[in-house]
Amino acid sequence: MKTPLQKLLAAAGLAALPALAMADNFPERPIELIVTYEAGSGADVMGRLIARLMSGHLPNGQQVVVVNRPGGGGTIGMTALTRAEPDGYTFAYTTSSPVTIQPHYGRTTFSIEDLAPIAKVIEVPAALNVHRDSPIENFEQWLEFVRANPRSFTYATTGGTGSGTHLVTEELAEALEVEIRHVPFEGDANSAAALSGGQLMGTMQMPNMHRGGDVRPILFMTSIKPPHPDYADIPTTTELGIPAVADFFAGFFAPAGTPPERIAVLEAALEAAMQEDDIVNFLNNAQFPIVFAGAEEFGEIVAETSTLNRAMLVRLGLIAD
């Protein structure tokens, strides 16, 4: 029976690499995983769970040791990653913003060319939302309202100005030729309070109706949505043919120049870990659809997302062309 590594390599046309990987005997010592957010955060919990289960699928029984490198919206950890030896013994778990947005501001020492994608493991489903008591009940009513009332619809986003949620919502407005107004807020708690208090008309974030919350989606701007039945009838921009689709991924990266056979070993271990019951149950409880993309596909996702984000940052005047 073929191992997950052999299956991946064969599918990629790299059938000669299993012998190379075995001769290389990688890994021969524990591997360090940089989690780019603080201990106890959602990203940290997920990263540690994956690391623990991934260890059981690595050759030679080697362990994955987690090191938190928080700060700079994830960029401090990614900076540390790009300064590590590209030998497969250091990789990182992060989200989309530090990779596809922050480098465009010119405040990081790295770009996506300094990274070797290994695997995407999560995509956060996010939607344009209104309060559950809003008279706007669906996307059609929202579109009618914003066309009749330019700049009257106010919304906040997870991450604030220049975040991925802000950029894709402005892409939506641009595609539909409507004018809406972004209102920056510090933190989701403050924007949620403003939505409940009527100071805002909407938000762009993951809705919480499945937890009995007040944030009701009218349109998902990700290609996926939570599997809960509360969201079954809520359309996505993809379904409606609207060219405004975001990919708020979380995934793993190595430094550029890491040998491809070692990337393949890490990718295979991650793919196997993501099929473990502990992770499947965790994601189901969090209402995150099961998502996995290997190194090649993930690299394409990163490149496309980065290009789209840069173009919108320029159009919004947040960076120079």
- Is residue 320 in some structural domain? no
* Beta sheet of 31-35, edge-to-edge order: 64-68, 31-35, 90-95, 249-255, 115-123
> Which of residues 209, 240, 271 is at a domain's end?
240
The token duo for 170 is: 């402005």
Question: Tell me, what CATH number does 74's domain have?
Answer: 3.40.190.150
pLDDT band for 10, please (50, 70, 90 cuts). Answer: very low
pLDDT tens for each residue of 12-36 = 444 444 444 444 799 999 999 999 9
Question: Are residue 16 and residue 114 in the same domain, yes or no?
Answer: yes
Question: Are residue 135 and residue 105 in the same domain, yes or no?
Answer: no
Please give the pLDDT value at position 166. Answer: 96
Please give the pLDDT value at position 22. Answer: 43
> Which of residues 216, 240, 264 is at a domain's end?
240
pLDDT band for 4, please (50, 70, 90 cuts). Answer: very low
Question: Tell me, what CATH number does 141's domain have?
Answer: 3.40.190.10
The domain in which residue 296 lies consists of 4-123+248-315
DSSP-assigned letters across all residues of 95-147? EHHHHHTGGGGT-SS--GGGEEEEEEEEE---EEEEETT-S--SHHHHHHHHH
Question: Are residue 105 and residue 160 in the same domain, yes or no?
Answer: no
Please give the pLDDT value at position 12. Answer: 42
Structural domains of the chain, count? 2
Report the alpha-carbon distance of residue 273 to residue 247 in Å, rounded: 22
Please give the pLDDT value at position 84. Answer: 98
Average predicted confidence (pLDDT) for the chain:
91
- Whole-model pTM: value is 0.89
Q: Which of 181-190, 215-224, 225-234, 310-319 has the lowest mean pLDDT?
A: 181-190
Question: Are residue 231 and residue 275 in the same domain, yes or no?
Answer: no
> Which of residues 240, 275, 300 is at a domain's end?
240
Question: Are residue 113 and residue 42 in the same domain, yes or no?
Answer: yes
